[in-house]
Amino acid sequence: MADPKVLVMVLAGGEGKRMLPLTQDRAKPAVPFGGGYRIIDFALSNFANARYLKIVVLTQYMSHSLDRHISQTWRFSGLLGNYVTPVPAQMRRGPHWFAGSADAIYQNLNLITDENPDVVAVFGADHIYRMDPRQMVEHHVASGAGVTVAAIPVGYEEAKSFGVIESDASGRIVAFHEKSPNPPTMPGDPSRCLASMGNYVFDTQTLIDIVTPTGNDDVATDIGGHVIPALTAAGVAHVYDFSTNLVPGQDDREKGYWRDVGTIDSYYEANMDLLAPVPVFNLYNDRWPVFTSHESHPPAKVSRGAGGEPSYVDGSLLSNGSIVSGAHVEGSIVAPDVIIHHDSHVTDSILFPGVKVGPGARIHRCIVDKNVVIPAGARIGYDLDADRQRFTVSERGIVVIPKGYVL
């Protein structure tokens, strides 16, 4: 067949409880990442680079920041019928919120019927990766499947948080285990499991039929928990091996890179991946760029402090509009409009927009949310027992200072 007509539905309505306090005032896909980006920019950039330009983003919880970012940043020309549209829960099927990912699609079936696509790509909004979705769509069409599930090998313990796939030699899924405490491992590799990435390509009619209630008690409200197991039982679910996906400008180190940033620790580690001399995820790939809005900030500035102290910056990302004035910054990500004053030390940390670090302060292994002012001489990240009295401290010892917190 000719190139199929594709509608993209990005699921961005989850609560993001494991990311608190970063999701206290915003949806998880709207959390800043890598200095000047939002998490959702990575999924949307994959579709923009692939020229899949009819995209709806289904939002629900704490969606204002996300809706505003999409509306102000992701504006395609409407002359050719292209769009990225945030769609909040509209209760079109009754006075209730989305009960799950499948219910979110069911409540917005009008978006599918209005567009009348050949296939529907249903992707998550909260992962960091590069992918050419055209290759997955081509694989789906060639297989004749009702649904194709993107999958990646992960460690056994990590797999307990994902849907795990068992497939035959043809790629047909024979069993799907959603967040099992004892997930099946890959043949010949007892240390790893084949995990669903939460990215799906559906035949349009298959999707409509499976999310539409039939009158019995078995209503499909969740894609991983209900839809994929049902289509697996029907024999029409296939797997797509993400490790075979080829992206222009990507080297072998980055091939297959995918990070679920659903917890504070995984979010922190994915940010730190950007800082290596040769990073495993390269923001500087201009053949498959990550798009976002860049406000009118002046260039980043590194200067001596008020008393002539030199600055030291190494292994860090400095965003436009940031100022390092006689300070030590190492292994850190500095967002726009951040000011780090003289004699302060910021190490292995992530500073969100508008943060101010006072003279002589010490910040280590911290995530500091927007507009926090760290007072002069403060020490955070060096005594986790003391830090727990005021802040959230993750399992791996990352201190999170919430948005607007007054120290």
Q: Per residue in 277-308, pLDDT tens? A: 999 999 999 999 999 987 788 999 999 998 89
H helices, E strands: number in the chain: 10, 29
Say what the pLDDT of residue 94 is.
66
- Domain-by-domain residue ranges, the chain? 6-275, 301-401
Asked whether the predicted pLDDT for residue 397 surpasses 90, the reply is yes
Say what the pLDDT of residue 274 is.
97
- The whole-chain average pLDDT of the chain stands at 92
Q: Hey, what amino acid is at 200?
A: Y
For residue 14, the SS3 value is coil
Tokens of 38: 């939002």
Say what the pLDDT of residue 92 is.
65
Say what the pLDDT of residue 238 is.
95
In 3D space, the residue among 381, 380, 341 whose CA is nearest the CA of residue 357 turns out to be 341
The tens digit of pLDDT for each residue in 109-151 reads 999 999 999 999 999 999 999 999 999 999 999 999 999 999 9
Asked whether the predicted pLDDT for residue 345 surpasses 90, the reply is yes
By mean pLDDT, which of 33-47, 49-63, 206-220, 247-261 is the weakest? 206-220
Asked whether the predicted pLDDT for residue 367 surpasses 70, the reply is yes
Q: What is the mean pLDDT of residues 181-203?
A: 90
Say what the pLDDT of residue 211 is.
92
Q: pLDDT: is 219 or 369 the higher one?
A: 369
| 6-275 matches 301-401 in fold | no
Report the residue count for the chain. Answer: 407
Burial of 256 (0-12, 13-18, 19+ CB in 10 A): middle
In 3D space, the residue among 18, 11, 172 whose CA is nearest the CA of residue 106 turns out to be 11
Say what the pLDDT of residue 1 is.
58
Residues 388, 373, 367, 19: is their CA dihedral positive or negative? positive
How far is Cα 322 from Cα 320, in angstroms, rounded to an integer? 6
Say what the pLDDT of residue 118 is.
96
Say what the pLDDT of residue 306 is.
86
| pLDDT tier, 249 (very low <50, low <70, confident <90, very high otherwise) | very high
Taking the domain 6-275, which CATH number applies?
Answer: 3.90.550.10
By mean pLDDT, which of 95-99, 131-135, 184-188, 315-319 is the weakest? 95-99
- Can you give the pTM of this predicted structure? 0.94
Say what the pLDDT of residue 216 is.
65
Ramachandran angles phi, psi of 284, nearest 5°: -95, 20
User: Is the peptide bond preceding residue 117 cis, with omega within 30 degrees of 0?
Assistant: no
Inter-CA distances, 146 with 143, 173, 200, Å: 9, 11, 10
Asked whether the predicted pLDDT for residue 99 surpasses 80, the reply is no
**Residue 247, phi-psi category: left (phi > 0), alpha (psi -120 to 50), beta (remainder):** beta
By mean pLDDT, which of 23-37, 187-201, 261-275, 303-317 is the weakest? 187-201
Q: pLDDT: is 109 or 219 the higher one?
A: 109
Helices (H), 236-276: 264-272
The tens digit of pLDDT for each residue in 313-340 reads 999 999 999 999 999 999 999 999 999 9
Cα distance between the two ends of the chain = 62
Query: What is the third-level CATH fold of 301-401?
Result: UDP N-Acetylglucosamine Acyltransferase; domain 1 (2.160.10)
Contact predicate 327/300, CB 8 Å: no
Say what the pLDDT of residue 90 is.
74
Contact predicate 11/58, CB 8 Å: yes
| pLDDT tier, 169 (very low <50, low <70, confident <90, very high otherwise) | confident
By mean pLDDT, which of 72-76, 100-104, 203-207, 249-253 is the weakest? 100-104
Contacts 24+ apart (CB under 8 A), 13-18: 13/58, 13/59, 13/60, 13/61, 13/63, 13/89, 13/98, 13/101, 13/104, 14/60, 14/61, 14/126, 15/61, 16/61, 16/126, 16/262, 18/262, 18/263, 18/264
How far is Cα 215 from Cα 278, in angstroms, rounded to an integer? 55
Inter-CA distances, 365 with 312, 323, 379, 394, Å: 18, 20, 11, 11
